Every structure is written in C-alpha cells, then in structure tokens.
Amino acid sequence: MGLFQKVFEKGKLESVGIDVGTSSIKAVHLDLRSRTPVLKNFTIARLKKGSIQTSNQIIAGKQISKILKFALKKSNIDCRDASFSVPNFSSFISFINIPRANPEQIPELIKREAVKFIPVPLGEVTLGWELLKARSGDKKSFEINDSGQMKILLMAIANDTIQKYETIAKDSKLNLGSIEPENFSLIRCLVGPQEMNNAVAILDIGSRICNILVAVSGSLRATRNVDVGGGDITNAIARGLGVDIVRSEALKKEGGLSDPRLTELISPVVGRIVDELKRVIKAYNQKNSSTPVQKVLTVGGTSKLKGFEEFLKKETGLMVVDGDPWSQISFSRDQESIIRSFQYELAVAIGIAMNRGG
C-alpha cells in the first residue's frame, strides 16, 4: 500500500497479521511459502472495552505491547515479522483524478491534488496511493475517466498514528512490515480469484459501525462507514421489550427478522443499514455502468441475523453470499471447528497477514 509498506527481507516466509480493536487484540500467523497461505496459529486477547483504544485513537500503547507479547508467547507464535491494520476512522481514503503523466511525475501530481481532499496539512500525514487498473487484466493498463485522466485511490494515515504502531511493534519485539487501513485487509481475504473480474460489495456489520465497500479486480472502488451496527439492534429490542441487554442479545440471535415480535422493533435499524448499502452501490453503478455490482459479500456477526440474508436479497435484487475470510487459507481439518467460530472476528487479521509485500 504505497508508503505504508516497508518491505521485509527478501523471501518473506511467514507473517503475523495484527488487528488492535477497542475490546480485543487479534493476531493470525500464516506460512506464506506456498501459493496458498497456511494457518499456523491465531490468538484473541479479550480486553475491557475502551481500555486500550477508544473509537478514534489508541490510548494505551504500552499496555497493547504488553498484552500482545503475552498473547503471542502463550500461543507459541514466534514469528517476528508482523503487519498491523489501522481502523478506518484513523485513515483518510478518497478517489482522485490526475492528468496522464510519466511515472516520475505522478507523486508530485498526487500531492497537488491531495491538498483538496486531506483535511489536515500534508506534512502531518503519510500518503499512499494506487493507480486503479482497468478490468482488461493487463497489469500495465490503467483506468481512465471520460476526461482522459488517470483514476487514483488516495490514502493517508496521520504520522502520529503510524508512530504509535511503530512503537507498539518495537516494544513487542516485532519487525514492522506494513500498516494499512482495514478496508484493504478485508478485500484481500474476502475477494478470491473467482471474483477478480467482477464488482462486489462487502457489507461488514460490526457492533457499532457498519463498513460498506465496493471492490473491483481486488481494488477498493468505493467506501462508506455508517455509525450503526449490531449494538443498535440489541438496544432497540431492549427498549421495546423492556428487557436487559443480555436477554435482548439472546432474543436477537434466537429470532432476528424471523420473529414478528422483533421485526417491528429492529426494522428501522436494519433498514438504515440496507439503505446505506443501496446508496453506495447506486452511486458506484452510476459512475461505472459497464461494471455494475453483481454480488454482496456479508461479514460480521450481525449479518447472520435470522431472515437478514433473504431481506437483503429482496431489497437489493443481488446475489448475497456469506463472506468467508478463510476461503484462501489452508488449514488442517481438526482446526476447522475452532476457526469457524471466530472467523468474523479474525477477518481483518487474516487479511493483513496475507499481505506478501511488493
């Protein structure tokens, strides 16, 4: 991912992907020596919500390093080459156009245009970018807009955020390989070779935030975060039925949209999520009529709400598929029952661990 990536020593054989969340730290260790990455181990360290990271910043870097070192040691993860995902709220992502230019001219043209889109001085961020490739399959063919300009995916992460992750890696005795927004990690693990020539939407419903993406040929083409998630559904049930959160969560899992008693309570929340998804897809399709979104990949525990898949199919008119972050990973049969129970939590960590560099 442009300047966010530091290349490991030549011949990267293994990698640990690390996802630091507001209530847990997840790490996935992959062997990258074969074409298909092989799972070696993973770990999840549960924490008190908000104890190490709030909704917009890391607040306890030293504590993260201490917990991470302990978790890796306890799980016998001895690989030192690690990469970190950055929450979407800690990064800036935009799509810009620049005139056609020689490779050596592109960085300066991007910086000139970035000033219009990055809401802080460029000296306070590290920029990364990707020239969006055409669907032709030709790696040297780039997408050109109607005005003859090149389309660029622009990314930026605040320098102080990068420094925090560098310190966490150093204090954890890890070699920092790359830092990237979690959107890219999700795309890497969810969009397999069979989807590379299609436009797919990804709907990631977390407990507090819903993340909506569109990917084409493995590249991000649209993104939107919405402040609504599974927690809002739980709260709606609790308020409507006058029960506590524990009971509300149980009812949500048991009935979902298939329970008429709950449907009326949670439909406004579910409807908002689906409306935002449809809005993102419509905006993308209007600008890319030749490559419309054909499928929705869902991920996150709330996406498994009873009746939700059928509701989503009806509302979008699209194929809806359960996103599988393990689909491109090799693992032993005796590991399957365990990893399936954690697959949505580990999606981002899997994706960043899959980053081979380059």
Supply the CATH number for residue 231's domain.
3.30.420.40
Residue 52 in domain:
no
Q: What is the spatial distance between Cα 152 and Cα 130, in angstroms, rounded to a whole number?
A: 6
Q: Is 304 within the bounds of a domain?
A: yes
Query: Within a domain: residue 172?
Result: no
Q: Strands, E, within the chain: which ranges?
A: 14-20, 24-31, 38-46, 81-86, 91-98, 125-131, 150-158, 175-181, 199-205, 210-216, 219-226, 293-299, 319-322
At 271-288, the pLDDT tens digits run 999 999 999 999 999 988
How many independent structural domains does the chain possess? 1
**pLDDT score at 8:** 41
**What pLDDT, on a 0 to 100 scale, did the predictor assign at position 339?**
87
Encoding tokens for residue 94?
């935009």
DSSP characters for 66-96? HHHHHHHHHTT----EEEEEE-GGGEEEEEE
Its pTM stands at 0.87
* Containing structural domain, residue 205: 193-324
With beta carbons less than 8 A apart as the criterion, state whether 47 and 24 touch: yes
- For the stretch 10-60, pLDDT in tens is 456 899 999 988 778 999 999 999 999 999 999 999 876 655 555 555 556
**Spatial separation of the C-alpha atoms in residues 206 and 197, rounded to whole Å:** 28
> In this structure, is residue 10 part of a structural domain?
no
Length of the chain: 358
CA angle 292, 202, 177 (to 5 degrees): 120
